[in-house]
């Protein structure tokens, strides 16, 4: 099956700006909701604008729906829709006029479906776009994107400014698209916002794709914070260098550490002593996410602030 998005060593290099991307190899399978995560300035929008042929790569290549993003531009445009992060629309038009225009450029859309989207997202289509709040403007962009029933939706920070109810409706729309076998590509700097929605996430930082994981695999690799009370003081040596164990501290008879993956080695090491109590605290995906960034990194802080 053709991937929805496939890039090979995709690179956009800016001499004086930080927003480039470097050697990105990304495959997004069809029928998924894919989260593209990273702090502001990591290169998310650069990546998206390369996929849309708005900017051209320094090197590397990109295919969307198996088509070359530059050579097959119009064929892609007919099957893909896009909501930019900094959404700007013709402010002198009403929402309805804009949707009519974009629908005509598309070569016609299902008006019944479009009106249903307007209703579901509670958009007032007869107000001029210039008088709309950010969230309402975003609704116009979302209706425009969903109304053509695209095979791939590329959404750059789509939920900014949406109220919670509308955000829920937006998530239903994404899930419906997935059910119909369509693909949704969502960029975000907030993992909690998309973790329950996405099947897989890619993590980008400073222009490099750090990891692509299924949410399930991320959860499997969940970090657990463990605290073990022993019946006697224990030495730290007995637990050092165990696989998956980090941040190890031993104070008298209390051991504290974080474990990634299996607890087996730690539990077996602990079994040599009298174990009075064992507490395990599951960490959030947010923390796993931050583990990729490195805790002492400014980027990680940015992510955690954004998520807070």
Please report whether residue 134 would count as binding another protein according to CB under 8 A: no
Based on the shown chain and the rule CB under 8 A, indicate whether residue 108 belongs to the binding site for another protein: no
- Nearer to another protein (CB atom), residue 125 or residue 257: 125
102 is a site residue for another protein (CB under 8 A): yes
Query: CB under 8 Å to 54, separation ≥6 — which residues?
Result: none
CB of 83 to another protein, least distance (A): 8
Q: How far is the CB of 169 from another protein (least distance, A)?
A: 21
Q: By CB under 8 A, tell whether 217 contacts another protein.
A: no
Smaller CB separation from another protein, 109 or 300:
109
For the chain, where are the E strands, in sequence order? 5-12, 21-28, 33-37, 59-64, 67-68, 80-83, 152-156, 183-188, 200-205, 208-214, 223-230, 245-251, 254-260, 275-282
Q: Are 307 and 247 in contact (CB under 8 A)?
A: no
183-188 and 208-214 beta bridge pairing: unpaired
- What is the rounded CA–CA span in Å between residue 122 and residue 91? 19
CB of 102 to another protein, least distance (A): 6
Annotate each residue in 135-174 with x if it binds another protein (CB under 8 A) or - if it does not, as one string. ------x--x------------------------------
Q: What are phi and psi of 251, to 5 degrees?
A: -120, 110
Report the residue number, 102 or 118, with the smaller CB distance to another protein: 102
To the nearest whole angstrom, how small is the minimum distance from the Cβ of residue 87 to another protein?
7
β-bridge pairing 80-83 and 245-251: unpaired
Q: Does 38 bind another protein (CB under 8 A)?
A: no
Contact flags string 74-93 toward another protein, x per CB under 8 A: x--xx-xxxxx-xxxxx--x
Check residue 55 for interaction with another protein (CB under 8 A).
Answer: yes
| Shortest Å distance, C-beta 229 to another protein | 55
Residue 271, token pair as written in the block = 């079994």
Looking at residue 181, what DSSP letter applies? T
Minimal distance in Å, beta carbon 301 to another protein? Answer: 25
Minimum separation from the CB atom of position 117 to another protein (A): 16
Reduce the DSSP state of residue 157 to 3 states and report it. coil
Q: Between 50 and 303, name the residue whose CB sits nearer to another protein.
A: 50
Stretch of 49-57, 158-166, 177-185, 189-197 contacting another protein, by CB under 8 A: 49-57
62 in Cβ contact with 10 (< 8 Å): yes
In the list 11, 30, 106, 258, the residue contacting another protein (rule: CB under 8 A) is 106
Shortest distance in whole angstroms from residue 40 CB to another protein: 13
Q: In this chain, which stretch among 23-31, 94-102, 177-185, 246-254 interacts with another protein, using CB under 8 A? A: 94-102
Q: Is 11 in the site for another protein (CB under 8 A)?
A: no
Q: Which residues contact 55 (CB under 8 A, 6 or more apart)?
A: 12, 46, 49
Beta strands 152-156; 80-83: pairing state: parallel
Residue 104 sits in the site that holds another protein (CB under 8 A): yes
Burial of 262 (0-12, 13-18, 19+ CB in 10 A): exposed
- CA angle 91/96/97 to nearest 5° reads 60
- Can you tell me whether residue 95 is helix, strand or coil? helix
**Which residues are at the interface with another protein (CB under 8 A)?**
45, 49, 52-56, 73-74, 77-78, 80-84, 86-90, 93, 97, 100-102, 104-107, 141, 144
């Amino acid at each position: 099956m053709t991937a929805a998005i496939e890039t090979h060593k995709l690179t956009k290099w800016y001499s004086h700006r930080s927003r480039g991307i470097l050697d990105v190899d990304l495959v997004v399978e069809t029928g998924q909701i894919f989260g593209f995560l990273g702090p502001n300035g990591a290169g998310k929008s650069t990546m998206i604008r390369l996929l849309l042929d708005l900017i051209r790569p320094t090197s590397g290549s990109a295919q969307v729906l198996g088509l070359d993003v530059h050579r097959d531009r119009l064929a892609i445009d007919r099957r893909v829709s896009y909501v930019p992060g900094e959404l700007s629309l013709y402010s002198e038009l009403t929402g309805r006029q804009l949707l009519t225009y974009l629908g005509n450029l598309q070569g016609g859309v299902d008006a019944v479906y479009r009106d249903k989207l307007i209703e579901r997202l509670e958009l007032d289509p007869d107000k001029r776009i210039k008088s709309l709040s950010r969230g309402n403007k975003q609704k116009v962009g979302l209706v425009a994107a969903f109304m053509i029933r695209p095979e791939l939706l590329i959404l750059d920070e789509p939920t900014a400014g949406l109220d919670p109810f509308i955000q829920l409706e937006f998530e239903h729309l994404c899930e419906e698209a997935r059910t119909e076998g369509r693909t949704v590509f969502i960029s975000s700097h907030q993992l909690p916002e998309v973790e329950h929605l996405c099947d897989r996430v890619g993590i980008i930082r400073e222009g490099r794709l750090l990891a692509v994981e299924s949410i399930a695999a991320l959860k499997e690799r969940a970090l657990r914070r463990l605290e073990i009370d022993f019946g006697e003081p224990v030495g730290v040596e007995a637990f050092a260098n165990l696989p998956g164990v980090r941040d190890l501290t031993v104070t008298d008879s209390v051991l504290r550490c974080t474990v990634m993956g299996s607890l087996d080695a730690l539990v077996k090491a602990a079994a040599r002593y009298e174990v009075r109590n064992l507490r395990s605290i599951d960490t959030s995906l947010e923390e796993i996410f931050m583990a990729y960034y490195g805790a002492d990194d400014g980027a990680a802080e940015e992510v955690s602030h954004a998520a807070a």
